Each structure stands twice: as structure tokens, then as C-alpha cells.
Amino acid sequence: RFAAVIFDLDGVITDTARYHYLAWKRLAESQGVHFDEAFNEHLKGIDRMGSLELILASATRRYSDAEKLALATEKNEHYKELIATMTPSDLLPGAVAALDDCRAAGLKIGLASVSRNAFTVLDRLGITGKFDYVVDAGTIAKGKPDPEIFLKAARELRVTPDACFGVEDAVAGVSSIKAAGMYAVGVGDPQVLAAADIVIPDLTQFRLEQYK
Ligand code: G6P
Ligand code: MG
């Protein structure tokens, strides 16, 4: 029934969600803001400036736009240091098999990450060639949970949204897929990702024939 699959990157294909967490934690604590895994859950799938705003909402003072930009850049520099050492061994278990199963089934394959580092990460993982289309996050006006990024991927893959399914680890990402009118496969905790149509713990449990 599906003609295309659209994957998220961070936390689905590779564990960069961990690197985003570490980089935001250092940034938050430098500003006296407490930062833990529970708070980080709200940041998954949220774009860079949006994430910073959520963190600074707990700070004791206000920040100018210039200060915000400097802090976002500082976080990104730290993040870039963390991803610079990535190799294909950082692919999560089951990721390549899931992509190859989709390819073998004749599906078009897209990537919808709001990360401006997505091209670098795909390159370091050695899987750029496995995608028919990768959304350039710089062209997206509204990040997840808005459906824009998944709709753009579908349009560029020349398929209708109802013929697509999305694969996501973030609450905001699942909302984005559902708002786009697509079937959602959640990767992670079924309680956290309750809005998904089906939830699997990780991509080793990816079973194309079960998604309908
Ligand atoms: C993904 C991650 C977020 C991150 C966002 C922007 O959606 O899940 O944690 O904030 O990308 O990433 P960037 O690399 O552009 O800062
Ligand atoms: Mg993600």
C-alpha cells in the first residue's frame, strides 16, 4: 500500500540524540539552567533556536537576540565536535537493514530531519546514497511538530502523503507525521510515542509487512 517511507535521522538511524543531549546540557548548565533526560525529551525533533528558547525559558534573566544566536552557535560548535568522529559503526542496529528492506520493496526513501547537520551525519555514516531525497532543513520555515517537512519530502518524492509512512523517535516528530496525514512508526517508548500508529523499540524490530 505504501509508495514511500520518510525517515527521521537523529535517534532513529544513529544515536546523535545523545550528542544533542550532551551539547544542550553543557550549554544549559553554563547558563545556570538545570538539564536532565526528562527535559531533553521535549527537545527531541525541535529545531536549534526552538530548543534554545525552551531552555532559556527556565533561566533567571532575559537574553537579547544576539546573545541567543551566540549561545546557539556555541552549542552547535560543540555538537559538530561530537559528530566529527562518527563513522559507519555509529549506525544503530537494524538501520541499514530497514533501509535495504524498503528499497527491496520498491519504496522511495526520504529523510526529514530539521537538523542543519543532517548532510554531514549521513556522509559520516556512509549512507547518503541510500536516500532518494533528503530535505535541506535550511529550506523549512516551520519545524516539527508542523507537518511542513514531511509534506515537502512527499512532494519531492512525487507521492501523496497517504501513500507515505514516517519513522520517528520524537513526540514532535510523530505529531508532524500525523499532521501530514501519514502513517507513523514510532521508535522508542510506546507510552511516550502514544500518538504513533505502531511503536517498535528500535530498528531491529522494523517489519515492513506489519505497517498498513
Ligand atoms: C533534530 C534533533 C534536535 C535538534 C534539531 C536541529 O531534530 O532531534 O535535537 O535540535 O535536529 O539540529 P541542528 O543540528 O540543526 O542543531
Ligand atoms: Mg529524532
Report which DSSP code applies to 40.
Answer: H
Q: List all residues 6 or more positions away from 131 whose beta carbon is below 8 Å from its beta carbon.
A: 109, 110, 111, 122
Asked casually if ipTM beats, i.e. exceeds, 0.90, the reply is yes
For the chain, the 3-state helix, strand and coil shares in percent, each to the nearest 5, are: 50, 10, 40
Task: Judge if pTM exceeds 0.90.
Answer: yes
- In this structure, which residue's CA is closest to atom 12 in ligand 1? 115
| 48 CB near ligand 1 (under 6 Å) | yes
Q: Is 10 a catalytic residue?
A: yes
The pLDDT value recorded for residue 153 is 98
Catalytic, out of 8, 100, 146, 197: 8
Q: How far does the centroid of ligand 1 lie from the alpha carbon of residue 206, in Å?
A: 23
Q: How far does the centroid of ligand 1 lie from the alpha carbon of residue 68, in Å?
A: 16
Q: Which of 42, 46, 86, 139 to mutate to test the pocket of ligand 1 (most atoms within 8 A of CB)?
A: 46
How large is the greatest C-alpha to C-alpha distance in the chain, in angstroms?
Answer: 54
148 three-class SS: helix
The pLDDT value recorded for residue 184 is 98
Distance (Å, rounded) from C-alpha 47 to C-alpha 15? 17
Q: Is 162 a catalytic residue?
A: no
C-alpha cell at 169: 523517535
| 9 CB near ligand 1 (under 6 Å) | no
The pLDDT value recorded for residue 177 is 98
The pLDDT value recorded for residue 110 is 98
Task: Tell me whether residue 89 is annotated as binding.
Answer: no
Catalytic, out of 10, 65, 90, 197: 10
The low-confidence residues of the chain, meaning pLDDT below 50, are none
